[in-house]
Amino acid sequence: MYKNYLKIAWRNLAKDKVFTLLNVVGLSIAFAVVILLAMAAFFELSYDSFHENGNRLYQTYWTEQVPKGTEAGTSQPAPFTNALRTEVPGVEKITRFLEQEALTTYGEKEINLDAVWVDSDFFEMFTFPVLRGNKNNPLEEKSLVVVTESTANKLFGSSEAIGRTIHILIDGKEEPFTVASVVGNHDTRNSLEFEIAIPFENHVGYAENKEAWSARYHQVYLLLQNGVSPKQFEQSTHTFMNSHYKESIENLKRDGAVANEDGLFRQLKLLPFKDVHFTSFKKGYADVIRIVPYLILGVAFLILFIACVNFINMSIAKSSQRLREIGMRKTLGAKKKHLFFQFWSESLFVFLVSVAIGVLISMLLVDTFKTMFQTNISLNMLTSPLVILGSLAFVFFITLLVGGYPALLLSRLGTIQSLKGKLETSGSNRVRNVLMIFQFSIAILLISGTFVLWGQVEFMRNKNLGFDKEHVLSFPLDGKKNPYEAVQLLRGELSGNPDILKVTASDNNLGRGKDGSQSTSIWGFDYKGRGVSTHALAVDYDYFETLGLEFVQGRSFDKNYSGDTQSVVINESMAKEMGESDPLTGYFPMSDSLRYSVIGVVKDYNFQDISKSIKPLTFFLNKDSSLSYAFVKVAPVNMANTFEAVEKAWKKIEPNAEFLGSFLDENIDNTFHKEKTMANMITSGSIIAIALSCIGLFAMSFLIVSQRTKEIGVRKVLGASISSIAVLLTKEFLILVLISFLIASPIAWWFLRQFLDIYAYKIDLGIWFFVAAGFLAMAIAILTVGSRTIKAAMQNPVKCLRTE
């Protein structure tokens, strides 16, 4: 019996090659896209899931009630870790964590490594398997380090790394360290990537800050004891926080801050480590946002839904051609279940072929997909037994659902009705129309999202940030020389080049350069009886001139004024924060006896990501603060040659340092990588959704025209024009598209408004985004359906009337 089902299924599919091909093509594309997008989404959602103690690992963060509301952050002071371990019960392991590059030397090799400065508990908390060396406590001594396998190969080649002595540049001195262990290279879904791990006590400035509760500059992770819940632990830290931050809390009360619902002004909280990769603290609390992976899954589902709608609609529309077959089978004794399995087996065959082709397409496109969306997915993700069984179950469910509905509809037809070759079409047409409305609503939703996302990306890319981003080159000051000396040498090397206009430096980059680093420094102090906080930036001379920053009051730092080393420049937001009628009368209390005067106020500019509002900022000209990035302003001509000239000059100054130069507009683009990825993804999804919708429309128009061939002939004989017939056949589809537009637009507007609320600076969500999406969907429908309907309208009426 089953062999007979398969044989008849094959004959029916082979007989109607056009619709079989359309179904297979649509489903194959959908399955390929679903496989790739699902791999990307689950890859992202599985971040940091490989740690064995993952369910007990947490990052500490604080919330603070300030006069303007609530602030939150993860930076902790150096004495925080030991105090928390000894004073609050429930901590099994705890570590400080600070990411900072370390210039490492071995023999003649000099490499700038991505370093983490951690405590000895680090490798007992997190799962980084030790391949060679000390496996119990690899950082038990201050002079030991741990390197990854790839780092060991960089430094020592094929030689054994354990026991080797390397030198790391710390505060201008090369300190010796011994390699204690080699750990495996990281899982790509890891938030704690590093090339070398160094005991935290070696970090520059640790000796001065180890008892300073006011200097917050690193993160802290802890492992809770078994049976201790995060909520219990947080409650037990209230006394700890009130004790160690007593002065800070008193200042908050003085400045008018209001306690939170627990009656606290400063609170310690725990963030599950599995959420760290997805968390933002911009809103004053830990905001866990997994929008990107869920959006990827959503797009995958919508594309698969469109393909399934096509399949259902075409199956129902084709049903009228098989009514007599159904009647004959019922006359010969076939039962409903036999007919159901007959029609469902045809659907199963189409789906299995489509899945096989979809898997093949995804294998061919995986590298292109990885490049386009900058993800590290691998086809190995599909080879686990659990994934294979889950995928088969999913395909079986989809086949049963999508193929089962038309099969159930046909199997329930009466014998007489079937033999007459007539099908009650009102119900099936309603189902078809509803599904097509859903289909085009999805397409319009995706098109609207594409327009808005690219509009926001272009807005961020072209917004005037308040500084010259197109003609300024930045690069990290990696090397052994003192950064101030290195910048001065760079000025000398480039002084004879007419295309080099200015050279300067600061302790932070603008945007995200090739080293991928971004940092911030916030300083709080009492000013005339109230608390004030500001972002702090150490700069060299010519910083404002190099970036083209505009002064609204006062002046820039000047080499001719020796007193400028004890002065500051502030931005407009900081001037408002200080509250002086004349900002140039303000000062910064550096100690009981030393004040830095304000000599200038620059116009506000976006020194952070464009998604953030502009905060108070203070510029210092202080030789005690290290410089990290050089900035070179170049003429708008011969920029490629100028780039090479800067690279050669830097190589001459630091021959062993890698040159990681990039223009500031590139750096700014890198800060909204997430938005560009989403825009690319939605654009690709929209194109695929439109293509699948066109396949369905073409097939439906083909079937409807074939069913109304005789009607077309009669109308032409009675004098109907080609245009009137074309409009008659197209009108029904255009009405469905219009209904889809009316349904999709409000939904799209709500979702996109929620998305844009993330940004401090954003585009206006005008109606034209949705009108353009609706017109595009309408135009696509007209082009798809019109080609078939015009051809039918131009046909000879004699041939139409002869059609049975």
Which residue pairs, CB below 8 angstroms and at least 24 apart, start in 120-123? 120/95, 120/199, 121/93, 121/94, 121/95, 121/223, 122/95, 122/97, 122/197, 123/181, 123/183, 123/197
Mean pLDDT of 44-64: 91
DSSP state of 331: H
Question: Is residue 258 assigned to a domain?
Answer: no
Question: Is residue 800 assigned to a domain?
Answer: no
Question: Is residue 508 assigned to a domain?
Answer: yes
439-443, 631-635, 654-658, 770-774: range with highest mean pLDDT: 631-635
Residue-wise pLDDT for 390-403, tens only, equals 777 877 787 777 66
Instruction: Please tell me which residue, 528 or 504, carries the higher pLDDT value.
Output: 504
CB of 630 closer than 8 Å to CB of 543:
no
Residue 793 clears pLDDT 70, i.e. is over it: no
Question: Is residue 122 assigned to a domain?
Answer: no
Handedness of CA 476, 480, 481, 484 (dihedral sign): positive
> DSSP string spanning 32-85?
HHHHHHHHHHHHHHTTT---TTGGGEEEEEEEEEETTEEEEE--EETTHHHHHH
Q: What is the mean pLDDT of the chain?
A: 83
Contacts with 314 (C-beta within 8 Å, 6 or more apart), sequence order? 19, 22, 23, 696, 699, 700, 703
275-289, 325-339, 560-574: which range is least confident on average? 325-339
Confidence (pLDDT) at 20: 77
DSSP state of 539: B
Q: Is the full-model pTM beyond 0.85?
A: no
Question: Is residue 590 assigned to a domain?
Answer: yes
Amino acid sitting at position 485: E
* pLDDT range class, residue 512, cuts 50, 70, 90: confident
CB of 166 closer than 8 Å to CB of 145:
yes
* pLDDT range class, residue 260, cuts 50, 70, 90: confident
Confidence (pLDDT) at 291: 80
Residue-wise pLDDT for 524-548, tens only, equals 788 887 888 888 899 999 999 999 9
Residue 232 clears pLDDT 90, i.e. is over it: yes
Confidence (pLDDT) at 427: 47
* pLDDT range class, residue 381, cuts 50, 70, 90: confident
CB of 410 closer than 8 Å to CB of 12:
no
Range of the domain at 535: 479-659
| Half-sphere exposure in the Cβ direction for 181 (13 Å, CA) | 20
Question: Phi and psi of 600, rounded to 5°?
Answer: -165, 155
Instruction: Please tell me which residue, 315 or 252, carries the higher pLDDT value.
Output: 252
Residue 246 clears pLDDT 50, i.e. is over it: yes
Confidence (pLDDT) at 334: 56
Question: Is residue 420 assigned to a domain?
Answer: no
Tokens coding 459: 């807005």
Q: How far apart are CA 306 and CA 304, in angstroms?
A: 5
Mean pLDDT of 637-656: 90
CB of 272 closer than 8 Å to CB of 58:
yes
Residue 616 clears pLDDT 80, i.e. is over it: yes
CB of 518 closer than 8 Å to CB of 629:
no
Contacts with 487 (C-beta within 8 Å, 6 or more apart), sequence order? 477, 503, 504, 505, 540, 627, 630
Tokens coding 393: 């179950």
**For residue 114, what are the β-bridge partners?**
101
Question: Is residue 655 assigned to a domain?
Answer: yes
How many structural domains compose the chain? 1
Q: How far apart are CA 604 and CA 573, in angstroms?
A: 7
Tokens coding 542: 């010519």
Instruction: Please tell me which residue, 93 or 318, carries the higher pLDDT value.
Output: 93
Mean pLDDT of 107-134: 90
Residue-wise pLDDT for 306-329, tens only, equals 888 877 777 766 665 555 565 555
Confidence (pLDDT) at 704: 66
Question: Is residue 609 assigned to a domain?
Answer: yes
